[in-house]
Amino acid sequence: MISIDLTGKVALIAGVQNEYSLGWAAGKKLLEAGATCIFSFQGERNLPALEKLTAAYKDQIAFLEVCDVSKDEDLLRLFERIKTVCGKLDYLMHAIAFTPRASQENPFVQTTRSDWQIALDISAYSLVALTQHAAPLMAEGSSIVCLSYYAAEKVVAKYNVMGVAKSALEASARYLAYDLGLRGIRVNVVSPGPMRTVAAKSIPGFSLMFEKAAKVAAMGRNASFEEVGNTCLYLFSPLSSGTTGETIYVDAGYSIMGMAMDS
- Marked catalytic residue, from 149, 234, 249, 254: 149
Calculate mean pLDDT across residues 157-162: 93
In a domain, 61, yes or no: yes
> What is the reported pLDDT for 210?
86
> What is the reported pLDDT for 1?
56
In a domain, 258, yes or no: no
In a domain, 256, yes or no: no
In a domain, 132, yes or no: yes
In a domain, 223, yes or no: yes
In a domain, 48, yes or no: yes
Q: pTM for this one?
A: 0.95
In whole angstroms, give the CA distance from residue 254 to residue 131: 30
> Which residue did the predictor score with more confidence, 197 or 165?
165
3-class DSSP state of 97: coil
Its domain, for residue 171, covers 10-251
149 is known as an active-site residue: yes
Mean predicted lDDT score pLDDT of the chain = 94
CATH number at residue 95: 3.40.50.720
**Tally of domains within the chain:** 1
3-class DSSP state of 67: coil
175 is known as an active-site residue: no
pLDDT digits (tens, 9 = 90+) for 223-257: 999 999 999 999 999 999 999 999 999 999 999 99
> What is the reported pLDDT for 263?
46
pLDDT digits (tens, 9 = 90+) for 88-127: 999 999 999 999 999 999 999 999 999 999 999 999 999 9
Calculate mean pLDDT across residues 2-9: 92
Q: Which amino acid is at 162?
A: M
In a domain, 170, yes or no: yes
Q: What is the dihedral of CA 210, 100, 45, 168, to 10 degrees?
A: 70
In a domain, 259, yes or no: no
- Marked catalytic residue, from 150, 159, 234, 249: 159
Instruction: Please name the residues in contact with 190: beta carbons below 8 A apart, sequence gap of 6 or more.
Output: 145, 146, 147, 148, 228, 231, 232, 235, 247, 248, 250
Whether 62 has a pLDDT exceeding 90, the answer reads yes
